[in-house]
């Protein structure tokens, strides 16, 4: 019997003893191995070459361990065969050059010995593999448990730190008004429903950089802020969104250069019964609401840089840590622990603006609103389902208009803001004319061109629109 036949039979017997339900893959591997051996390629480890060449998978640990033991057994047979091949035979017969592994005859005793050794090595390999797999599984489990413990500990520490920060913040708020008498809405003030000023919804806000996170952080700390940026950059919407998400009342006041302090705090008037009472202005209502409403209030001073310097000085008190305003009926203070925030918005280089008084400005955190990115414009435009060409041309138009305004070629008072762009797209959507040049130019006339007071600037923009959309 040849060595090849002996190997084959012994491995078949081993597989049968294992009681494998589907031994065919192992038989197939055995056949491949025998063919590989006959190629006489022994420069590298036989098992290494075999694994890589025939792609034994380690996904199935049982199959892998079995195949590994088979190949290790094959290697031992090859070593024995090679030794026998190199030693002289007892009968002084010389093997021919073309004699292969599969042509060697062995005695029954040698075969039994080799058979037993092979079985022992196979069993040892399987045991070692199983022990290694078990050890690795235990190590992995321990590592996972350790990682879970670390995460849980980090979470506990983070929660404790957050509680400490909140406690410190709440204490600071109380300290600002420590000792102040709790203020209620005086009977002399005409009653109002502050809860109608709690926003029931807010539009989607597309954060460009970190301006939203910065603004939210300042509001959480009850710090007053000024949002600074071009028209349509989302200043007002950002304030409304914060109020909506935190269920705060929001009072919006559009400022102007001729506004008096009485326009902010209110004035005396007659009630429905003819009695003289005080009608609170937006600023007074916001402060009274903060004292009455547990979620607090925000006073939004739109275009705060249009206020005269005199009014700015009079508002210093309300933006100060002491938080008070002087009414004709007496001084009104913020109650201890009340949540009250002043938010201003301002545009740069617009007509009718005034420099902010240094003392007034010092009471605010200024947050610059960045220009809208192309990615954000795409998100807005996609809601209207416009064509790629129209979207591309709109972006070109916005970029060119910004360059003309920066170079003082056209007035910076007129901008094609996000608000104006949405109005333009709504007109096209209503008329179903997003691909008609005349309709596009007509919609741009309503939302952009006709806003210019200077005829020369108007003509420049007309020419630009004709260049882009024709």
Residue 100's pLDDT is 43
264: which residues sit within 8 A by CB, 6+ positions away? 253, 281, 282, 283, 284, 311, 315
pLDDT greater than 50 at residue 214: yes
Rg (CA), the chain: 42
How far apart, in whole angstroms, are the C-alpha atoms of residue 122 and residue 327?
A: 97
Domains in the chain: boundaries: 3-87+99-142, 194-368, 374-469
105: left (phi over 0), alpha (psi -120 to 50) or beta: beta
**Mean pLDDT for the stretch of residues 427-441:** 80
Query: Over pLDDT 70: what percentage of the chain?
Result: 71
**Mean pLDDT for the stretch of residues 191-200:** 88
How far apart, in whole angstroms, are the C-alpha atoms of residue 2 and residue 431?
A: 91
pLDDT greater than 90 at residue 297: yes
Most confidently modeled range among 3-17, 23-37, 393-407: 393-407
Residue 224's pLDDT is 92
- How many CB atoms lie under 10 A from the CB of residue 315? 24
Over the stretch 13-61, which tens digit does the pLDDT of each residue have?
A: 666 665 555 555 666 666 666 666 666 555 555 566 555 555 555 444 4
pLDDT greater than 50 at residue 104: no
- How many CB atoms lie under 10 A from the CB of residue 39? 8
What element of type H or E holds 269?
A: strand 266-270
Residue 89's pLDDT is 45
Residue 105's pLDDT is 54
**Better pLDDT: 443 or 315:** 443
In the three-class reduction of DSSP (H, G, I as helix; E, B as strand; rest coil), residue 225 is classed as strand
Residue 464's pLDDT is 92
Domain 194-368, CATH among 3.40.920.10, 3.90.1150.10, 3.40.640.10, 3.40.50.300: 3.40.50.300
**Mean pLDDT for the stretch of residues 422-437:** 81
Residue 3's pLDDT is 56
How far apart, in whole angstroms, are the C-alpha atoms of residue 174 and residue 336?
A: 5
Residue 22's pLDDT is 57
φ/ψ (deg, to 5) at 90: -60, -35
Whole-model pTM? 0.57
Q: What does the mean pLDDT of the chain come to?
A: 78
Q: Is 297 exposed, middle or buried (0-12, 13-18, 19+ CB in 10 A)?
A: buried
How far apart, in whole angstroms, are the C-alpha atoms of residue 36 and residue 34?
A: 5
């Amino acid at each position: 019997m040849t060595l090849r036949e002996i190997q084959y039979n012994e491995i078949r017997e081993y597989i049968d003893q294992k009681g494998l339900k589907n031994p065919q893959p192992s038989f197939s591997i055995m056949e491949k191995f025998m063919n590989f051996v006959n190629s006489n390629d022994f420069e590298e480890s036989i098992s290494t070459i075999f694994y890589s060449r025939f792609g034994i998978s380690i996904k199935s640990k049982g199959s892998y361990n079995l195949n590994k033991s088979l190949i290790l057994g094959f290697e031992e047979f090859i070593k024995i065969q090679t030794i026998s091949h190199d030693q002289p035979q007892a009968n002084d017969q010389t093997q021919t050059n073309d004699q292969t592994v599969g042509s060697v005859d062995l005695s029954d005793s040698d075969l039994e010995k080799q058979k037993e050794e092979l079985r022992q090595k196979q069993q040892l390999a399987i045991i070692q593999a199983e022990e290694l797999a078990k050890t690795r599984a235990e190590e992995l489990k321990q590592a996972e448990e350790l990682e879970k413990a670390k995460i849980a500990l980090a979470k506990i520490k983070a929660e404790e730190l957050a509680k400490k920060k909140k406690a410190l913040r709440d204490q600071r708020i109380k300290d600002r008004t420590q000792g102040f008498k709790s203020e209620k809405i005086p009977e002399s003030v005409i009653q109002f429903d502050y809860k109608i000023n709690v926003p029931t919804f807010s539009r989607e806000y597309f954060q460009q950089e970190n301006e939203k996170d910065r603004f939210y952080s300042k509001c959480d700390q009850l710090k007053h802020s000024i949002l600074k940026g071009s028209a349509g950059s989302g200043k007002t919407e950002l304030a409304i969104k914060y109020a909506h998400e935190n269920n705060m009342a929001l009072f919006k006041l559009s400022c102007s250069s001729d506004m008096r302090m009485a326009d902010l705090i209110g004035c005396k008037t007659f009630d429905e019964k003819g009695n003289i009472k005080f009608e609170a202005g937006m600023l007074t209502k916001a402060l009274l609401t903060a004292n009455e409403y547990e979620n607090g209030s925000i006073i939004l001073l739109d275009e705060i840089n249009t206020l005269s310097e005199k009014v700015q000085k009079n508002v210093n008190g309300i933006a100060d840590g002491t938080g008070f305003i002087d009414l004709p009926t007496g001084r009104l203070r913020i109650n201890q622990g009340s949540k009250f925030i002043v938010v201003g918005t301002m545009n740069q280089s617009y007509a009718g603006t005034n420099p902010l008084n240094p003392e007034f400005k010092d009471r605010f955190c200024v947050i610059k609103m960045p220009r809208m990115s192309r990615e954000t414009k795409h998100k807005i435009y996609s809601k209207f389902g416009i064509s790629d060409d129209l979207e591309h041309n709109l972006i070109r138009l916005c970029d060119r208009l910004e360059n003309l305004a920066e170079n003082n070629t056209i007035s910076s008072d007129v901008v094609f803001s996000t608000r104006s762009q949405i109005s333009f797209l709504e007109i096209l959507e209503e008329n179903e004319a997003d691909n008609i040049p005349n309709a596009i130019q007509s919609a741009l006339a309503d939302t952009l061109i006709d806003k210019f007071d200077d005829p020369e600037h108007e003509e420049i923009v007309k020419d630009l629109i004709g260049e882009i959309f024709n």
